[in-house]
Amino acid sequence: MEDERASEAAAIIWHNWSCHSRIKSLPEACRPASIAEGYEVQEALVNLTGWPPIGWKIAATSTAGQKHIGVDKPLAGRLLAGKMHRAGSELPVAHLHMAVIEAEFVFLLGEDLPARGRDYLPEDVVAATKALHCGLEIPDSRYENFTNVGAPQLIADNACTEFFVLGDAVSECWRNLDLAAHSAHLYINGKKVADGTGANVLGDPRIALAWLANDRVAQGGALRAGDIVTTGTCIVPQSIGPDDDVLADFGTLGKLSVRFTN
């Protein structure tokens, strides 16, 4: 994709992100036609935001999630410093188009995962992980209907990213747990609204992390030490609104909360 086309597409997305407005789709003249072109626009968008990238998010890590947005595999987006918040934060919600929240397992890498001539396995990426955290993602899209624009445009839109809430690092006991079977529960205003397990994330959050490591290599990049990687929702995304208090309970791995305002 020519740099000018990627820059034009990124500028359109950034304008709508900044203004909290929506478009039907990117103009055909600068619309990415492939996964690779989508990531070129994404890179240009990240540069436009001025927010340093701090890691990655994985979208569509469940069969239901993929079906909902019309893709057949996960998508990657950048986590950005300007959109990352700590547990207990208050965040605005009125501008959100999607207005949902997701509970996720989050890995902090301690080592680089560069190209090496063979795929990374889950045990490889776990060995390269410095810490496990629990997190909450509040995704959003710059498209009027994000379910029908296709993977390249979704990737260009940074895989529907908006806010990310990071909890504290959990105990090292996580390395001995079966994360696929581990439960997460979501409460809104004190009422339990969703249950899920790590199995909803490509079968296991560690599998999702390995997928991202291999996908980054396939796209000509690599995960790096210090990257935060949130692996996709382990619950069905739940609607949020002003004055909602949200608590995610990951059992022995801990809890984290966020409150929403206008």
Sequence ranges of the domains in the chain: 51-261
The pLDDT assigned to 113 comes to 98
Distance CA 162, CA 151 (A): 18
Look at residue 164 in the predicted model and tell me its pLDDT: 98
Q: Which amino acid is at 162?
A: E
164: Cβ–Cβ under 8 A, 6 or more apart, which residues?
A: 57, 79, 83, 84, 85, 135, 136, 137, 138, 230
pLDDT of 2 above 90 = no
Given phi > 0 = left and psi -120 to 50 = alpha, else beta, which region is 173? alpha
pLDDT over 90 percentage in the chain: 98
Instruction: Place 197 in a pLDDT band, splitting at 50, 70 and 90.
Output: very high
- Nearest-angstrom CA–CA distance, 133 and 151: 28
Tell me which CATH homologous superfamily contains domain 51-261: Fumarylacetoacetase-like, C-terminal domain (3.90.850.10)
pLDDT at 127 over 90: yes
> Region 37-64: what's the mean pLDDT?
97
Q: What is the pLDDT of residues 7-33, one digit of tens each?
A: 999 999 999 999 999 999 999 999 999
Q: How does strand 238-239 pair with strand 100-109? A: antiparallel
Mean pLDDT over each residue of the chain, to the nearest integer: 97
pLDDT digits 0-9 by tens, 161-196 = 999 999 999 999 999 999 999 999 999 999 999 999
pLDDT class of 227 with cuts at 50, 70, 90: very high
Is the predicted pLDDT of residue 63 greater than 90, yes or no? no
Instruction: State the distance between the two ends of the chain, measured CA to CA, in whole angstroms.
Output: 39
Report, as an integer, the average pLDDT of 228-251.
Answer: 98
